[in-house]
Amino acid sequence: MTEFLNNLFFIFQRIDWLSAVDILLVTAISFVALYWLRDTQAMVLLRGVILLVILIVIFTSLVDLPAFSWLVRTALPALLLAVPVIFAPEIRRGLERIGRAGTLWSSTSSGATQQLEETVKAVVAATARLSARQHGALIVMQKLDSLEDYMESGVRMNARVTPELLLQIFYPNTPLHDGAVIIAAGRVTAAACVLPLSASGILNRSPDRQMGLRHRAGLGISEASDAVAIVVAEESGAISIAHSGRMLRRLDADRLENVLLAFFRPTVETRRLRLWERIFPYGLSTKKDE
């Protein structure tokens, strides 16, 4: 025990401020990488790779196997080259979040604020009525990332956002009810749009079973962009909102309006901030919506 403590003190004596900064940088990068990979298929793959590497290291250190050790040393560089390919979506999403930090000081005019409030009120009113009627709906509100590719998959509209228009679009068995409505700059730009489905597995762990393709599509577009997706369940009328790969569920109209305004109308203090909250829009909490 004494020898262990002496060795520990010897190590700490050799650490200067530059070494501490070096360790903190490596720790921060590892933390950010793991945080970005949370609740994704890539996280499962990463755990498998780490476990495999640990087993190989233990096995080769305990048993002298020259041919197997040579194979491991030869295959390891190829594995490292494959990492960017395997984690390409997560890397791209992380770089996009960092790039969006350059918009921290963007200003919002009074006209844009008024248009935003009118759009949010129209969406909330339509969502509440769709929920009461148990009409399924998927409404996507664009933020900074362009959704042009997804708009091309639907029917172009370029109409003013009104509750009546959204109710008509999502009325059962109408031509445009099956798919997503995309709203950008206060306009319904397209309807019946096809969105990517989430593969994170968050919905599979949910105790509820009312969440189908609409919820997976809403969560999928929030993983692929910074857009906000509002989902109305057809079976129960429950209202959910997806953003940054997270889903808030069982919302009422008042809470939905507050959440949308919080997402689209940041305060002056929030606008000046902060690379940290742009990278981690939900803070450090990993708790899902109750």
Structural domains of the chain in order of their starting residue, each with its CATH number: 2-102 (no CATH), 109-279 (3.40.1700.10)
Predicted confidence at residue 169, as pLDDT, reads 95
Q: Give the residue with greater pLDDT, 287 vs 54.
A: 54
What is the DSSP secondary-structure string of 69-127?
HHHHHHHHHHHHHHHHHHTHHHHHHHHHHHHHGGGTT----HHHHHHHHHHHHHHHHHH
d(C-alpha 139, C-alpha 230), whole Å: 5
Whether 232 contacts 215, CB under 8 Å: no
pLDDT tens digits, residue range 161-209? 999 999 999 999 898 988 999 999 889 999 999 999 887 666 665 555 5
Residue 156, pLDDT above cutoff 70: yes
d(CA 147, CA 224): 10
pLDDT at 76 over 80: no
Report, in angstroms and rounded to the nearest whole number, the Rg of the chain calculated over CA atoms: 24
Rounded Cα distance, 59 and 198, in Å: 37
User: Which of residues 153 and 105 earns the better pLDDT score?
Assistant: 153
Whether the pLDDT of residue 138 is over 90: the answer is: yes
